[in-house]
Structure formats: C-alpha cells, structure tokens
Amino acid sequence: MQKLTLTRPDDWHLHLRDGAALKAVLPHTVRQFARAIVMPNLKPPVRSFADAVAYRDRIMAAIPSGKHFEPLMTLYLTDNTSPEEIIAAKASQFVKAVKYYPAGATTNSEFGVTDIRRCDRVFETMEELEMPLLLHGEVTDRDVDVFDREKVFIKQQLIPLKLRFPKLRVVLEHITTSDAVNFVLANNNIAATITPQHLLFNRNMLFKGGIRPHFYCLPILKREKHRQALLQAATSGNPKFFLGTDSAPHSRDSKESSCGCAGCFSALHAIELYAEAFESVDALDKLEAFASFYGPDFYQLPRNTEQITLIKKTWRIPNELPFIESGIVPLGAGNEITWQMA
C-alpha cells in the first residue's frame, strides 16, 4: 500500500501546556487532528468550569490562522471537587470529561486525589449526567513496583469503583498491560486509549545503549508481552480501544536532567507513528476506525467528515524542534519512519 486515506482523526488524550509552550506545540496537533481531549494538569490545574473557559480561550487564540481545531476540555478532579461543579461543566457543552490523577502520580499531579472514595458524591453525579471519568490508572504506593502500578490500581481501586458505580462511563487512559486490556474487555461502560509509544516500544527501549530519557513516560513502558497485547487490542476492531497520544511536551533540559520529567512528545508525527504500528501487524485497514470513529462514538460526538492522506515515504524524525528554553525532542528522534502525512 502506497497511499492511505483516513477520516480526519481526533486525539483523545493530549497535553498542550500553556503560554509559550502551548503556542509551540499546538500547530503539530492541528495539522493532523480535528479535536482533542485536553488534559487539565496545568500549574495551577484546571479545577473549575471558569478555569476551563479561560484555558479554552487561550487555546483558541493559539490556533494557527486559517486552521480549524476544537479543544475538548476536562476538569482536574480533587478531593474538594463538588457535584455542583460537575453540573456546571456538563451544562457548558464543551467540558467533556473529568480527569482523575492519584496525588503524585505524574507531571503536575500534586493536587490530585488522595483517596478515590472521597469523590463518590462526584462520581454519583457524573454517573447520572453520563459525564466520562478519565483515569490515570496507577497507584502511588512506594511499596508497589513501578511496573506493577497499573495492575495493582485495577485490583485495588478500579474494580471497587465499578462495583459502586456500574453505569459510570470510564476511560482507562494510556493503558500499558494485558491486565488493563482484559479488564476493559470484561466490563461495561469502560473504554481505553492507547499511545503510540506503548504500541511501538517495550521497556528495553529505556535502556538501549544507556538511559534513554525521551522514552520515559508514565505509565512506564512495559514488557514485550504487554506491548503485544496492546497491539492486538488496538488492531482488533473493538470499539472499546481508541487513539490517545498522551503527547507530553517537555524541554530537552527538563528531560535530560538528574531527575527527568515523564512524558513522550509525539504530536509532531502521531498519526504516522500509529500507521507504523498498525502496518507492523498488517492491520492498516483497522487504523481509521481506531483513530477516527471509536473515540467520537464513545464521547457521543459526531464523526469528522474531512479526510487526511498518508503516503508511503521514508523520512527521518528530527533530532529536535524549536521549543521554550532548550528545544524539544520528538519520540523516536533521529530514526526513520515510512509513512508521512501529505
């Protein structure tokens, strides 16, 4: 296959940051995607409807002239989030979900939830309003191995949550394990996003020739058997699994430091990376539904009508792109890739 035409996709998990960083990275997403679920973990986080309005306005102002893009906003769940805030967000029509971060789990998560049961009143309201809950599915107990945090989260927190609120619509984001795949398949009202890095790489990539900080993300890359399980899920044609890049921009110096930030920057070439992954198992015919159909269906939004085209063309991922402070390194920098968006 030398050419691939797809309905314009959406990104159902995206970090855009704010200010100069937002202006630097947004054009890459706009080039490929029509819409994106925008993460709320700013400093300070997007905790209220008013915060979401202001952040959306800043995103809209940063869209390149002549381009169309719709940011789909989220609220950052805290121990103190009220049901009334959820009701206001739902009524707005542009806040589409609420994001759960365990306190201390990842970038800018220090305001996150300390005990998920504290939010049951909020979950009850969300269940009634059919407002999706987006989960960073990891525990933060220091006694739990970093490679087991997702599996333990499912057992300790997600299973009880679904028993308490069986109709709550949940997206288990950036899944990384066969355990997560199996849970999503076995339960109602739950879907999952899958990132390009977790489809393309296993944990060996973190240590190939030394420490590779630009492959460090949370949840961390896992064993090859888990990568294979994710690839099978993504290419299965099951509507429970859809595209979410979790593209997370950090400057080079913040990644290449004594305590490097977690996150892979894939906004530059996300759809091309997914094409590489799907082609690796001869499943390019399943890419359009995964990238363009299943996400809007879950969020009860219309599918896009515009199309994009990928062509078979080998090119090299840049070593660095302009960014604040010290540039930004895209996922797989310096490597060749064989699909390119026209």
Q: Which residues are catalytic?
A: 246
d(CA 134, CA 95): 13
Question: For 173, left (φ over 0), alpha (ψ -120 to 50), or beta?
Answer: beta
DSSP bridge pairs for 62: none
DSSP bridge pairs for 3: 311
The structure tokens listed for 47 are 């905790």
Tokens 């937002």 sit at which residue? Answer: 22
How far apart, in Å, are the Cα atoms of 84 and each of 80, 122, 167?
11, 9, 20
d(CA 308, CA 32): 8
User: Closest Cα to residue 223, out of 176, 156, 158?
Assistant: 176
User: Closest Cα to residue 173, out of 148, 154, 201, 146?
Assistant: 154
d(CA 104, CA 134): 17
d(CA 270, CA 248): 12
Give the start-end residues of each E strand in the chain: 3-7, 11-14, 35-38, 70-76, 95-100, 133-135, 170-172, 190-194, 241-243, 307-316, 336-341
d(CA 243, CA 234): 8
Q: Is 40 exposed, middle or buried (0-12, 13-18, 19+ CB in 10 A)?
A: buried
Q: What is the largest CA-CA distance in the chain?
A: 53
d(CA 136, CA 102): 7
